């Protein structure tokens, strides 16, 4: 009974998520996708100042399929955490946080209004803070504060956008509205989405969020928190397209984020941070695709990425859990002998991430590269995108080299066997990673409107997809020319994410602490003390002392008072006379 009471919450949540995912799948294919229908339900709450405050819910192919994938991944993660969090004393509390996290994401998916979308948006921020600081140590608290403050910036920007939407009298931002303050509202929405999706310069919080338990990381980096910003931009694209300058900025920032995260992942040694940086790189690719003008392909890549990235995190979590919480790549090794199932699934997910043909990642990446070639993009921009996409094979090879390319490590002392819960969750996501792209292709690619590129473009795409194999060859033959001091300095610069953490984290906090110290010295302990509490106290003290001396009852005191009053009266009389 104790076992059932411990496993009851995660098992019930997993069953619930799987049932909801199956219902969404049936409803999506039968009621939305086959018929090409879109349903919009709207409940009016009240009317104030000529503006209707409503709660709209939209059911279309994008929202239904995304919710189906979120529930499928959440169910797999709930099964996985039964084994991973087996020693957790507050399993029900942790499960309730996961359920609240997924519920906030589903609320954000189905609501097309900026006012009501804040419910899911803020819910994600609050629950993510509670999950990041779950281990209750200094590292987790620092990461949680960085995460919640970065998300609060996005909240403030969305609230400002809502304030400007008063001029339109409409909160449903995604229906091609136009009018005053259009560019400003679009810019506020895009920058707010960039904070949630960790684009430059808000990228520091995403690797820091790795302080959360691995099941949380699998949810955050696959289909929930970080994808909320991308989904917001895609949902409101019909209005954002009216401001091409904002989309141009979004595309450039997305390309730089993809390049920065890919280069940082190539020199990182922490297994979870490599996967986190790969997520950041893929988010930059999605933002670039939206800025390029292909939101359908961006949401297609968002869906396929959710499947294989969740699989990648669960396999890494299984390895870390079996290695007694060891995630340093310089210690891990020989996983193919100690954990053959998790090692094999990790290899599969890394191959899908690389863009291996006929797996999920291939379909969306190939279309994005075709769009970059067929669009009106500059040569430098295309070069940045090709390098960023090609780096996916480089850091995927690093993951495989860390896990399989090293000798036996003392971090894992015996042959490991995964629990049945881990196997079921990993196999479920593995099927999605293999077949998800092929299934989704019939839904999204047929409405993309792409012009296929020629033979040369296909050749370049193939080179980019498999060009990172040279990194594996270099590591195999151990070319010593790459071990120069300049390379180590470059590695330090890349591993710091181009000093984004110092800019968005340490710099801001340092300025705040210094300013707070000066305010305390000059205001709290300076002018405010003189004219505030201490000054008033000193004045009252002097006045009380004066009245005490007057009321002391001494004859000389009465004479002094009498003389002072007579002098004052004579002075006033002489002045008026």
- Provide CB contacts within 8 A for 491, sequence distance 6+: 267
Residues of 292-304 as b/e, b for ≥16 C-beta within 10 angstroms? bbbbbbbbbbbbb
pLDDT > 80? residue 279: yes
Per residue, what are the HEC states of 426-483?
HHHHHHHHHHHHHHHHHHHHHHCCCCCCCHHHHHHHHHHHHCCHHHHHHHHHCCHHHH
Cβ contact 400:469 at 8 Å = no
SS3 of 92, please? helix
Residue 305 has pLDDT above 80, yes or no: yes
Alpha-carbon span 85 to 365, nearest angstrom: 35
pLDDT band with cut points at 50, 70 and 90 for residue 577: low
Distance, in Å, from the CA atom of 105 to the CA atom of 92, rounded to the nearest integer, reads: 20
Rg of the chain, C-alpha, whole Å: 30
> What does the pLDDT average to over 416-427?
78
Residue 482, pLDDT score: 45
Residue extents of the structural domains in the chain = 267-453, 539-577
Who's near 152: CB < 8 A, 6+ residues apart? 125
Q: What pLDDT, on the 0 to 100 scale, is given for residue 49?
A: 64
Q: Which tokens sit at 419?
A: 């629990």
* CB proximity list for 548: less than 8 A, separation 6 or greater: none
Whether the pLDDT of residue 301 is over 60: the answer is yes
Query: Lowest mean pLDDT: which of 129-133, 163-167, 271-275?
Result: 163-167
- Please check whether residue 330 is in contact with residue 323, taking contact to mean a CB–CB distance below 8 angstroms: no
Res 531: pLDDT: 65
| Per-residue pLDDT reduced to its tens digit, 192-209 | 888 888 888 888 888 888
Burial of 360 per CB tally in 10 Å (0-12, 13-18, 19+): buried
Closest CA to 504 of 194, 261, 200, 247: 200
pLDDT tens digit string along 68-121? 888 888 888 888 888 877 777 778 888 888 888 888 888 888 888 888 888 888
Q: pLDDT tens digits for 28-62?
A: 777 666 666 777 887 777 776 666 677 888 888 78
457-514 pLDDT, tens digit per residue, is 556 656 655 555 555 555 545 444 444 444 455 666 665 665 666 666 555 555 556 6
Determine the Cα–Cα distance for residues 135 and 68; give it in Å rounded to an integer. Answer: 30
28 close to 67: Cβ distance less than 8 angstroms: no
Q: In this model, does residue 413 exceed pLDDT 50? A: no
pLDDT at 249 over 50: yes
Tell me the C-alpha distance between 211 and 325, whole Å.
12
Check residue 557 and give its pLDDT.
Answer: 65
Distance CA 424, CA 341 (A): 12
Q: Is the dihedral of CA 512, 518, 520, 523 positive or negative?
A: negative
The 3-class secondary structure across 506-534, one letter per residue, is HHHHHHHHHHHHHHHHHHHHHHHHHHCHH
Q: Which of 195, 276, 274 is nearest to 228 (CA)?
A: 195
Whether pLDDT at 552 is above 70: no
310 touches 222 (CB < 8 A): yes
Whether residue 6 is predicted with pLDDT greater than 60 in this model: the reply is no
Whether 194 and 284 have beta carbons less than 8 Å apart is answered as: no
Give percent of the chain above pLDDT 70: 71
CA trace torsion 280, 173, 183, 231 (10° rounding): 10
Mean pLDDT of 167-188: 72
Task: Say if CB 188 and CB 161 are below 8 A apart.
Answer: yes
Cα angle: 199, vertex 201, 202; to 5 degrees: 60
Record the pTM: 0.78
- Between 511 and 418, whose confidence is greater? 418
Residue 512 has, within 13 A of its CA and on its CB side, a CA count of 7
More confident residue, 572 or 516: 572
Question: What's the whole-number mean pLDDT along residues 306-330?
Answer: 80
Rounded to an integer, what distance in angstroms lies between the CA atom of residue 17 and that of residue 12?
9
User: Would you state the pLDDT for residue 382?
Assistant: 81
Q: What pLDDT is stored for residue 25 in this prediction?
A: 81
* Span between the terminal Cα atoms of the chain, in Å: 103
pLDDT for res 409: 47
pLDDT for residue 410 is more than 50: no
Q: What local confidence, expressed as pLDDT, does residue 479 receive?
A: 44
Residue 83: predicted pLDDT: 80
Q: Decide which of 562 and 511 is more confident.
A: 562
Higher-confidence residue: 376 or 269? 269
pLDDT recorded at residue 411: 46
What's the pLDDT at 128? 86
pLDDT band at 277 (very low <50, low <70, confident <90, very high): confident
Instruction: Give the chain's mean pLDDT.
Output: 76
Cβ atoms < 10 Å from Cβ of 511: 10
Is it true that the peptide bond before 245 is cis, omega within 30 degrees of 0? no
Burial classification of residue 305, based on how many CB atoms lie within 10 Å of its CB (0-12 exposed, 13-18 middle, 19 or more buried): buried
């Amino acid at each position: 009974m104790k076992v059932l009471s411990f496993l009851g919450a995660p098992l019930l949540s997993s069953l619930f998520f799987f049932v909801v995912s199956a219902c969404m799948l049936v409803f999506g294919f039968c009621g939305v996708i086959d018929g090409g229908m879109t349903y919009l339900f709207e409940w009016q709450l009240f009317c104030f100042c000529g503006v209707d405050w409503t709660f709209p819910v939209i059911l279309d192919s994008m929202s239904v399929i995304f919710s189906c994938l979120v529930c499928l991944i959440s169910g797999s993660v709930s099964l996985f955490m039964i084994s991973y969090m087996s020693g957790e004393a507050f399993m029900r509390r942790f499960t309730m946080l996961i359920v609240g996290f997924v519920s906030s994401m589903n609320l954000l998916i189905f609501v097309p209004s900026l006012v009501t979308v804040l419910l899911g948006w803020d819910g994600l921020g609050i629950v993510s803070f509670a999950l990041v600081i779950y281990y209750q140590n200094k590292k987790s608290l620092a990461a949680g504060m960085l995460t919640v403050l970065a998300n609060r910036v996005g909240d403030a920007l969305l609230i400002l956008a809502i304030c400007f939407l008063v001029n339109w009298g409409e909160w449903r931002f995604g229906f091609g509205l136009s009018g005053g303050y259009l560019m400003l509202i679009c810019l506020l929405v895009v920058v707010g989405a960039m904070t949630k999706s960790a684009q430059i310069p808000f990228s520091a919080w995403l690797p820091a969020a790795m302080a959360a338990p691995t099941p949380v990381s699998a949810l955050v980096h696959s289909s929930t928190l970080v994808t909320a910003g991308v989904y917001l931009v895609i949902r409101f694209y019909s209005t954002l397209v009216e401001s091409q300058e904002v989309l141009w900025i979004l595309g450039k920032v997305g390309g730089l984020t993809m390049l920065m995260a890919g280069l940082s992942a190539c020199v990182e040694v922490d297994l979870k941070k490599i996967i986190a940086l790969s997520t950041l790189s893929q988010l930059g690719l999605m933002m670039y695709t939206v800025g390029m003008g292909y939101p359908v392909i961006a949401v297609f890549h968002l869906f396929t990425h959710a499947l294989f990235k969740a699989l990648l995190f669960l396999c890494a979590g299984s390895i870390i859990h079996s290695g007694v919480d060891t995630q340093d790549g310089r210690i891990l090794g020989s996983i193919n002998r100690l954990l053959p199932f998790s090692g094999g699934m990790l290899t599969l997910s890394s191959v899908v991430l690389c863009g291996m043909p006929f797996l999920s990642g291939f379909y969306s990446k190939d279309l994005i590269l075709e769009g970059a070639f067929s669009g009106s993009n500059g040569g430098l921009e295309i070069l940045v995108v090709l390098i960023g996409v090609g780096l996916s094979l480089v850091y995927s090879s690093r993951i495989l080299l860390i896990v399989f390319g090293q000798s036996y490590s003392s971090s894992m002392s015996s042959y490991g066997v995964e629990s049945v819960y881990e196997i079921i969750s990993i196999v479920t996501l593995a099927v999605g990673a293999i077949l998800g792209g092929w299934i989704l292709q019939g839904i999204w690619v047929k409405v993309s409107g792409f012009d296929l590129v020629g033979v040369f473009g296909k050749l370049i795409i193939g080179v980019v997809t498999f060009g990172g194999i040279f990194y594996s060859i270099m590591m195999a033959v151990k070319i010593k020319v790459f071990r120069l001091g300049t390379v180590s300095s470059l590695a330090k610069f890349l591993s710091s994410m181009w000093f984004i953490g110092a800019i968005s984290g340490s710099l801001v906090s340092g300025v705040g602490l210094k300013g707070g110290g000066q305010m305390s010295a000059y205001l709290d302990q300076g002018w405010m003390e003189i004219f505030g509490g201490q000054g008033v106290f000193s004045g009252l003290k002097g006045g009380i002392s004066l009245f005490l001396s007057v009321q002391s009852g001494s004859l000389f005191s009465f004479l002094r008072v009498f003389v002072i009053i007579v002098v004052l009266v004579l002075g006033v009389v002489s002045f008026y006379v």
